[in-house]
Amino acid sequence: MGQKETFIKVLRYIRKYWLYLAASVIMASVTVALTLYFPILTGRVIDLVVKPRQVDFSGVLRILKQMVIVALFTGAAQWIMNVCNNKMTYRIVQDIRNEAFCRIEILPLKYIDGHSYGEVVSRVIADVDQFADGLLMGFTQFFTGVVTILGTLGFMLSINVAVTGVVVLVTPLSFFVAGFIAKKTFTMFHLQSETRGEQTALIEEMVGNQKVVQAFSHEDEALAQFDEINGRLGDCSLRAIFFSSITNPSTRFVNNLVYAGVAVAGALFAIRRGISVGQLSCFLSYANQYTKPFNEISGVVTELQNALACAARIFALIEEEPQVPEKENAAVLTDVEGRVELSHVDFSYVPDRKLITDFNLAVQPGQRVAIVGPTGCGKTTVINLLMRFYDVDRGNICVDGADIREVTRKSLRENYGMVLQETWLRSGTIRENIVMGRPDATEEEVIAAAKASHAHSFIKRLSKGYDTVIGEDGGSLSQGQKQLLCITRVMLCLPPMLILDEATSSIDTRTEIRIQKAFATMMQGRTSFIVAHRLSTIREADVILVMKDGNIIEQGNHETLLAKNGFYAKLYESQFAS
């Protein structure tokens, strides 16, 4: 995304807060006007005291009172301008963050799977913060700087046109220097932003999996990888800082030329009595104030380059293609019986690598369907398709005769209860994690669900029971305890269809037997899909689908498949071989 396109998009966000913008510009104009009026008062004081023994003390006192009043009004106008700029900046940032987070919520899973979590977090947090800093500096200094330049030119023209001409002739050189450096810095800051996101992703990954890193003595490799990324970040940061750092000295050099030109020209006019000494002092003060905004604006330009580079990455996320939108007349699944059909389904994560081809399955209401097979055969992929986390490439999936692409995702997923091998718990109390699917559940219902999943006993042993606060992803709870809470969450909702993907993989054998009994009760009259590697847990399934390379190669109940002495029989025997 180019710099110009990014800037136009930023203006669209600013347009919403045009009242704050207008107030800021007005206050900036008032601030500058009063600031520029101050040298005129100073010049008048000098003219009143320049002659020996002819000091007009009453006139000096009157002007000093005016100077105090001007200073107070200048401070008030500047404070109001800063308030407007802060409100405008942080509301724009709030809008962008909200929009970015909302986009993440509707992005297809293939985007999340294809990008590291740390890199996405870096865009929403670090890049937005950098953008806010640059935008705030831009609002605060850019408006004031521009108005100061225009105002000083006006005041100088009112004093002496010829000396002002010296200033105007040298001014374009400052713009040329700042513009040349600005083009260089945008590319550098964009690269810096990307590398920072890569670094954040690595840190998030290593901190989140520190046990695995230490268990496999991967510390040295992780450090080496971090050093390599950190080195690249240092290189691109230094280059960005180098180009941004030469902006201010370059413009200062030009500004000093302006000041020197004004001093020489003004002195010549003063000698010829073209202007008074007070007016010359006023002119030199204006020349200094005129050049000062160029230094500030050059610094603002540098910050704006960084801000625009970060904004480009944020907008790239916001403009990512969302998941396939629901149809306007999408139906809402109600009173679901649990009849599921997959007809001639084709699907692959990567277009040139086939995974599931011509997959057909018909499941009757209340049936328990187990899916088994070697790793990578497509078991979890079938679950992703049933839940419509991914859409099929060909064919269709129907629930109670309705194509799942014709119904709302919310109503489809509300009719599934899902327990995965990978648990997910959010920061909050135990109760908040359990009632996620049913926020209106009563205390009795929560406890009944916890007892059914055999989680009640360990919850009561916690310091505050159901009100115990746990950290991100379960905090200090064991993997088995976290899985029990996820099972409790589903038992509280009891939807008409269940998906159990290695749901008891982290639970001890004794508890697993009890959980299996609870599952058996829960699955009565509910269509259930069970993904399992331990074949002992699926012997009671009505139908067992044996998958290999994305296809069903065997189908039947436990006894039938054993009698066939095929692939399933070999899998079963391999787990129970003496």
Read off the amino acid at residue 56: D
pTM above 0.85, yes or no: no
State the average pLDDT over residues 519-535: 80
State the average pLDDT over residues 215-235: 83
Q: Are 246 and 181 in contact (CB under 8 A)?
A: yes
Q: Are 356 and 347 in contact (CB under 8 A)?
A: yes
State the average pLDDT over residues 148-177: 73
Question: Which backbone phi and psi does 343 adopt, to 5 degrees?
Answer: -120, 115
Count of CA atoms in the C-beta half-sphere (13 A) of 453: 29
Q: pLDDT tens for residues 246-277?
A: 766 776 777 677 777 777 777 777 777 666 76
Is the pLDDT confidence value at 241 over 50?
yes
Domains of the chain: 3-318 (1.20.1560.10), 340-575 (3.40.50.300)
Q: pLDDT tens for residues 51-108?
A: 666 666 777 788 788 888 888 998 898 899 888 888 888 888 888 888 888 888 888 7
Is the pLDDT confidence value at 347 over 80?
yes
- What pLDDT, on a 0 to 100 scale, did the predictor assign at position 210? 73
Is the pLDDT confidence value at 223 over 60?
yes
- What pLDDT, on a 0 to 100 scale, did the predictor assign at position 409? 86
The proportion of the chain whose per-residue pLDDT surpasses 90, expressed as a percent, equals 1
Between 14-23, 142-151, 385-394, the lowest mean confidence (pLDDT) is in 142-151
- What pLDDT, on a 0 to 100 scale, did the predictor assign at position 578? 44
- What pLDDT, on a 0 to 100 scale, did the predictor assign at position 234? 84
Q: Are 503 and 480 in contact (CB under 8 A)?
A: no
527 φ/ψ sector (left φ>0, alpha ψ -120 to 50, else beta) = beta
Is the pLDDT confidence value at 398 over 60?
yes
State the average pLDDT over residues 281-288: 72
Tokens for 569, please give them.
């029989």
**Mean of pLDDT over the chain:** 79
- What pLDDT, on a 0 to 100 scale, did the predictor assign at position 88? 85
Between 93-102, 188-197, 283-292, the lowest mean confidence (pLDDT) is in 283-292
- What pLDDT, on a 0 to 100 scale, did the predictor assign at position 52? 60
State the average pLDDT over residues 353-376: 84
Q: What is the CA radius of gyration of the chain?
A: 35
CA 458 to chain centre: 36
533-541 contacts: CB < 8 A, separation 24 or more? 533/372, 533/502, 533/505, 534/575, 535/372, 535/571, 535/572, 535/575, 536/575, 536/576, 537/504, 537/512, 538/370, 538/372, 540/368, 541/368, 541/369, 541/370
Q: Are 546 and 568 in contact (CB under 8 A)?
A: yes
How far apart CA 282 and CA 276 sit, in angstroms, is: 10
Sole residue written with tokens 């390379």: 549
Buried b (16+ CB within 10 A) or exposed e, 447-481: bbbbebbbbbebbeeeeeebeeebeeebeebeebb
Which pLDDT band holds residue 391 (cuts at 50, 70, 90)?
Answer: confident
